[in-house]
């Protein structure tokens, strides 16, 4: 089938490349011409394992194109995916202006039936609203084409997005007629999925499913973070508790790690959006409100631990802290709402100098933090630790497990290591001579 991905970001680019790999003819459309120019040369604007290879192969095989030409891209396509941003507004609602302006463009360019698929995360009832919006626009243009609007939320995880697209746990399809279900199923048919993985429902429930999934995962994280605070006070170890409860099959091991809070472009904004939606219906969501407020508190925790450690050592002014990891999670260069950003700003605010390193997110971080001084961007975690009074690990990159910690300690001025992800074993680090501080553990 001929597809257009309207919006070539993490979701549009990965799903576009994967659909091309499945045999469809895909055009990725974006208003960002610099991005499109790069992509036309086969250069990925984002870091995502396996993506660049997929781009290269499918561009060569002419299954995948990139353009900023809206008219051509829309008129050539049978299926139009909306993979546009839905960031938070100031009141926490999902900003739908990107979706609405793309819908206007769709209506303006439409010259035959189109299947319009919302892949962006949007509040329940957006499909209904969009149908109405496009209908009115077509009427005003005196155009009489049929179209359908369906929901097909995306569940890929940054860092393993290509794998996730190709090996989905499930595909959710929200539509109001059988023919739409069949068309979407046909798109995914080359994946040869078991029927039980193709879950069909109405559009409102499908839109809700995406928010419910992210809210559930975020709830598990905030729950563990809340417990970790009590563990520290009582003298229990959250890591033992995590292993203990995760072994219960009803609970499972995933998303039970205490740490410095969740970030990224999805969980924080989706929770805010669901809370905002509930307010429109005069319905309270105390669990989600708590999930959000626990997370806000948790993002400040590492800075507090570092500050209180240096209190008895003359304060943070003039101290040097090494920051290991800036992306909101490993295997991505995405720093949107990353806990590291808040930590970095607070430490600078307190007068510290920072030596920073992330395996792939340095460019994005340098742009985001360009107004701050006292930052030294380093080649690796070793350079970052030279002369540091303390190390703060914020992103649990696997490579930090292999770091030679003895040489790190040798070249530091101090010996404190603040582990914001419980990435190391406490007794190991203490044996090596570090003063080790993690999340949810008794401080000896
Ligand atoms: N990033 C994720 O891991 C993820 C996972 C699942 C769902 N989602 C959801 O998918 C949606 C997209 O997220 P993302 O992370 O890919 O966003 P993104 O910011 O990475 O990409 C969006 C792209 O849309 C482009 N764009 C904006 N207006 C446009 C227009 N009128 N025409 C064409 N292009 C336009 C932007 O230039 C940008 O390249 C959001 O709703 C998000 O919540 C994201």
Q: Is 98 in the pocket of ligand 1 (CB under 6 A)?
A: yes
Check if the beta carbon of residue 93 is closer than 8 Å to that of residue 276: yes
| Tens digit of each residue's pLDDT, the chain (444 residues) | 999 999 999 999 999 999 999 999 999 999 999 999 999 999 999 999 999 999 999 999 999 999 999 999 999 999 999 999 999 999 999 999 999 999 999 999 999 999 999 999 999 999 999 999 999 999 999 999 999 999 999 999 999 999 999 999 999 999 999 999 999 999 999 999 999 999 999 999 999 999 999 999 999 999 999 999 999 999 999 999 999 999 999 999 999 999 999 999 999 999 999 999 999 999 999 999 999 999 999 999 999 999 999 999 999 999 999 999 999 999 999 999 999 999 999 999 999 999 999 999 999 999 999 999 999 999 999 999 999 999 999 999 999 999 999 999 999 999 999 999 999 999 999 999 999 999 999 876
Q: Ligand 1 in contact with 46 (CB < 6 A)?
A: no
Structure tokens at 56: 């290269």
**DSSP sequence for 159-180:** TSHHHHHHS-S-EEEE-SSHHH
Q: Give, using CA atoms, the residue closest to atom 35 of ligand 1.
A: 7
In short, whether 266's Cβ falls inside 6 Å of ligand 1 is yes
Atom of ligand 1 nearest to the CA of 86: 41
* C-alpha to C-alpha distance for 392 and 403, rounded to whole angstroms: 14
Domains identified in the chain and CATH numbers: 2-201 (3.40.50.720), 211-296 (1.10.1040.10), 299-437 (3.40.50.720)
Q: Token match 């879950």: residue?
A: 199
With vertex at residue 148, the alpha carbon angle to CA 142 and CA 151, rounded to the nearest 5 degrees, is: 140
Distance CA 307, CA 371 (A): 23
Report which ligand 1 atom has the smallest distance to the Cα of 98.
Answer: 28
* Strand positions, DSSP E, 87-187: 114-118, 147-151, 171-174
Ligand 1 centroid – CA 266 distance (Å)? 11
Ligand 1 pocket mutation, candidates 11, 17, 83, 217, criterion most atoms within 8 A of CB: 11
Phi, psi of 82 (to 5 degrees): -95, 110
User: Using a 6 Å cutoff on CB, does residue 11 contact ligand 1?
Assistant: yes
Task: Tell whether ligand 1 has an atom less than 6 A from the beta carbon of residue 362.
Answer: no
In three-state secondary structure terms, 254 is coil
The SS3 assignment for 359 reads coil
> CA-CA distances (angstroms) from residue 320 to 78, 361, 375?
57, 21, 10
**CA 3 to the chain's CA centroid:** 24
Kindly state the tokens that stand for 291. Answer: 């999930």
pTM for this predicted structure: 0.95
Integer Cα distance of 266 and 285 in angstroms: 19
**Cα–Cα distance, 343 to 341 (Å, whole number):** 5
Residue 266 bears catalytic tag: yes
**CB atoms closer than 10 angstroms to residue 241:** 18
How many angstroms does the Cα of residue 36 sit away from the middle of ligand 1? 14
14 alpha carbon – ligand 1 mean position (Å): 11
């Amino acid at each position: 089938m001929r597809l257009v991905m309207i919006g070539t970001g993490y979701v549009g680019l990965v799903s576009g490349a994967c659909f091309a790999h499945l045999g469809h003819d895909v055009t990725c459309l974006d208003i960002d011409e610099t991005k499109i120019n790069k992509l036309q040369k086969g250069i990925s604007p984002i870091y995502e394992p396996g993506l660049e290879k997929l781009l290269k192969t499918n561009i060569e095989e002419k299954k995948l194109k990139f353009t900023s030409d809206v008219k051509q891209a829309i008129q050539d396509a049978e299926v139009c995916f909306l993979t546009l941003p839905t960031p938070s507004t100031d009141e926490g609602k999902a900003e739908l202006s990107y979706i609405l302006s793309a819908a206007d463009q769709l209506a303006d360019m439409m010259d035959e039936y189109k299947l319009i698929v919302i892949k962006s995360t949007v509040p329940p009832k957006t499909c209904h609203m969009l149908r109405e919006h496009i209908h009115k626009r077509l009427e005003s243009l005196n155009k009489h084409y049929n179209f359908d609007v369906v929901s097909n939320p995306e569940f890929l995880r940054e860092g393993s997005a290509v794998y996730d697209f190709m090996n989905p746990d499930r595909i959710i399809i929200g539509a109001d007629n059988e023919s739409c279900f069949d068309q979407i199923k046909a798109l995914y048919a080359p994946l040869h999925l078991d029927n039980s993985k193709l879950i069909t429902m109405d559009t409102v429930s499908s839109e809700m499913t995406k928010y419910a999934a992210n809210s559930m995962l975020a709830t598990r994280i905030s729950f563990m973070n809340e417990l970790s605070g009590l563990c520290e006070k009582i003298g229990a170890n959250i890591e033992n508790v995590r292993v203990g409860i995760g072994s219960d099959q009803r609970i499972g091991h995933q998303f039970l790690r205490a740490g410095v809070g969740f970030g990224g472009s999805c969980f924080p904004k989706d929770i805010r959006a669901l809370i905002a939606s509930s307010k429109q219906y005069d319905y309270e969501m105390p669990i989600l409100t708590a999930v959000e407020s626990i997370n806000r508190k948790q993002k400040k925790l590492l800075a507090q631990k570092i500050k209180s450690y240096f209190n008895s050592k003359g304060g943070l002014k003039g101290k040097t802290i090494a920051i290991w990891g800036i992306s909101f999670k490993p295997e991505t260069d995405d720093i949107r709402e990353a806990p590291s950003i808040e930590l970095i700003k607070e430490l600078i605010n307190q007068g510290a100098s920072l030596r920073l390193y992330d395996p792939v997110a340095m460019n994005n971080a340098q742009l985001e933090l360009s107004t701050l001084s006292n930052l030294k961007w380093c080649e690796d975690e070793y350079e970052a630790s030279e002369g540091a009074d303390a190390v703060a690990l914020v992103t649990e990159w696997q490579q930090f497990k292999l770091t030679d910690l003895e040489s790190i300690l040798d070249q530091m001025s101090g010996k404190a290591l603040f582990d914001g992800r419980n990435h190391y074993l406490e007794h190991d680090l203490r044996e090596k001579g570090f003063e080790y501080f993690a999340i949810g553990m008794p401080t000896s």
